[in-house]
């Protein structure tokens, strides 16, 4: 990959991120990304997308796709993304995403994309039967970000490698076209206690929308009873909660639950272990479930209210798409010029 030094990018600081409207959002999506979306609004111009073009890489779902898009948009707003301050829109409403993705297909190298571990995980054993779109997913992701010349991208840890690819594509584009500062090299914003939330049943697998078992995740729309039942059935071991971080070694599921408690209450892991160390999971799990329910139930209620009011949501998404297009269109025109494409 290219490593030539990049001069300091002088353009505006701008945040971009997105989520797929595949299944309902879960606690990992919330702690890894959505909570950051909300906080970043105080510091940056923020653009948040519902990435429906990414969702179709794993199969068609024409009957449900629009309602799933609304559900993700409702989650953004319910969690605290303010549509007056930030731009919220659906990816396919801004056609320049696919146009830039094609140009980036001609920049990215096969070897770079072949190294992406998410494709290997999602394609499983039968990569030959996966869509080309699933393979190309991270190139479209680079286009999503760079279409807005975004400088910062809040994501969970699973997206780190894709963000590195976006930076490589930006740098190669700049080098190839002798345009040293054209695209910024986007910075991933990953750090924080919720960056990698694991399955409730297997502490070595990330919590995921596409896991066939609903018991592996806490959905943002789960009610208090569902949360209590899932947390009580979450895998642990017969030992009590440890008194220090060293005691979390080789106890991936316990580390995950303690990490979730710390992330949700915005406390340190040491602090949580200070309170619960030495106590059994019969004490810790109900406390965690109640904390989660208190955090998520107002979000779930607001999501229900918003998804029932499709007119308001659609108006937010239309206004968002207009705002996104106003940023993207001149950048795309510049890209076309830099590449030397035909001026229609």
Give the annotated binding-site residues for ATP: 20-22, 28-29, 156-158, 197, 206-210
Told to check if 77 binds ligand AQP by CB under 6 A, we report no
Q: Which of 208, 216, 219, 236 binds ligand AQP (CB under 6 A)?
A: 208
Please check whether residue 280 is in contact with residue 239, taking contact to mean a CB–CB distance below 8 angstroms.
no
CB of 52 to ligand AQP, least distance (A): 11
Please check whether residue 122 is in contact with residue 162, taking contact to mean a CB–CB distance below 8 angstroms.
no
- 245 is an active site residue: no
- By CB under 6 A, the count of residues binding ligand AQP is 20
Burial of 159 (0-12, 13-18, 19+ CB in 10 A): buried
- From the list 27-35, 226-234, 258-266, 268-276, the region that binds ligand AQP by CB under 6 A is 27-35
CB of 286 to ligand AQP, least distance (A): 23
Told to check if 219 binds ligand AQP by CB under 6 A, we report no
Told to check if 79 binds ligand AQP by CB under 6 A, we report no
| CA 245 – CA 259 distance, rounded (Å) | 11
| 221-239: burial string, b at 16+ Cβ within 10 Å, e else | bbeeebbbebbeebbbeee
Those residues whose C-beta lies under 8 Å from the C-beta of residue 252, and which sit 6 or more positions away, are 198, 203, 204
Closer by beta carbon to ligand AQP, 46 or else 335: 46
Chain-centroid distance, C-alpha 154:
7
Those residues whose C-beta lies under 8 Å from the C-beta of residue 259, and which sit 6 or more positions away, are 193, 194, 197, 269
Q: Which of 50, 43, 48 is nearest to 83 (CA)?
A: 48
- 209 is an active site residue: yes
Query: Which residues inside 102-161 make contact with ligand AQP, applying CB under 6 A?
Result: 155-156, 158-159
Told to check if 166 binds ligand AQP by CB under 6 A, we report no
- 206 is an active site residue: yes
| CA 145 – CA 317 distance, rounded (Å) | 18
Query: Which residues inside 182-201 make contact with ligand AQP, applying CB under 6 A?
Result: 194-197
Tell whether the torsion through CA atoms of 60, 165, 217 and 236 is positive or negative. Answer: positive
Told to check if 256 binds ligand AQP by CB under 6 A, we report no
| CA 202 – CA 186 distance, rounded (Å) | 32
Q: State the binding string over 31-60 for ligand AQP (x if CB under 6 A, else -).
A: -xx---------------------------
For 40, 83, 114, the CA distances from 80, given in Å and listed in that order, are 11, 9, 37
**What three-state secondary structure class fits 272?**
helix
Closer by beta carbon to ligand AQP, 194 or else 242: 194
Told to check if 19 binds ligand AQP by CB under 6 A, we report yes
CB atoms closer than 10 angstroms to residue 332: 20
Told to check if 88 binds ligand AQP by CB under 6 A, we report no
Q: Which of 128, 191, 204, 210 binds ligand AQP (CB under 6 A)?
A: 210
Q: Which residue of the set 149, 172, 206, 285 is catalytic?
A: 206
Told to check if 171 binds ligand AQP by CB under 6 A, we report no
Q: Which of 177, 209, 251, 295 binds ligand AQP (CB under 6 A)?
A: 209
Where in the sequence numbering do the catalytic residues fall?
122, 206, 209
Q: Which residues bind ligand AQP (CB under 6 A)?
A: 19-20, 22, 28-29, 32-33, 155-156, 158-159, 194-197, 206-210
């Amino acid at each position: 990959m290219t490593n030539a030094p990049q001069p300091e990018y002088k353009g505006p600081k701008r945040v971009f991120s997105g989520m797929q409207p595949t299944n309902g959002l879960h606690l990992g999506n919330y702690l890894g990304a959505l909570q950051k979306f909300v906080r970043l609004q105080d510091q940056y111009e923020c653009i948040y997308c519902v990435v429906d073009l990414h969702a179709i890489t794993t199969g068609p779902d024409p009957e449900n796709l629009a309602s799933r898009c609304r559900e993700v948009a409702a989650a953004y707003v319910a969690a605290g993304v303010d549509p007056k301050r930030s731009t919220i829109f659906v990816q396919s409403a801004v056609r320049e995403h696919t146009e830039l993705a094609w140009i980036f297909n001609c920049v990215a190298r096969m070897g770079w994309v072949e190294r992406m571990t998410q494709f290997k995980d999602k394609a499983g054993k039968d990569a030959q039967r996966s869509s080309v779109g699933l393979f190309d997913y991270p190139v479209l992701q680079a286009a999503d970000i760079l279409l807005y010349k975004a400088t910062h991208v809040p994501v969970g840890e699973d997206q780190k490698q894709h963000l590195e690819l976006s930076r490589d594509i930006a740098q190669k584009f700049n080098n190839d076209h002798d345009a040293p500062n054209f695209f910024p090299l986007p910075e991933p914003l990953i750090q924080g206690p919720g960056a990698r939330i694991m399955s409730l049943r297997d502490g070595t697998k990330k919590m995921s929308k596409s896991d066939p078992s609903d018991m592996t995740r806490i959905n943002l729309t789960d009610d208090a009873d569902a949360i209590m039942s899932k947390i009580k059935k979450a895998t642990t071991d017969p030992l009590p909660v440890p008194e220090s971080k060293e005691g979390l070694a080789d106890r991936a599921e316990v580390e995950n639950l303690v990490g979730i408690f710390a992330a949700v209450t915005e406390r340190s892991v040491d602090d949580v272990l200070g309170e619960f160390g030495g106590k059994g999971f019969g004490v810790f799990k109900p406390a965690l479930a109640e904390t989660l329910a208190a955090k998520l139930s107002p979000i779930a209620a607001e999501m229900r209210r918003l998804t029932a009011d499709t007119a308001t949501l659609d108006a937010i998404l239309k206004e968002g798409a207009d705002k996104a297009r106003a940023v993207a269109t001149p950048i795309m025109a510049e890209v076309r010029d830099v590449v030397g494409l035909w001026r229609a």
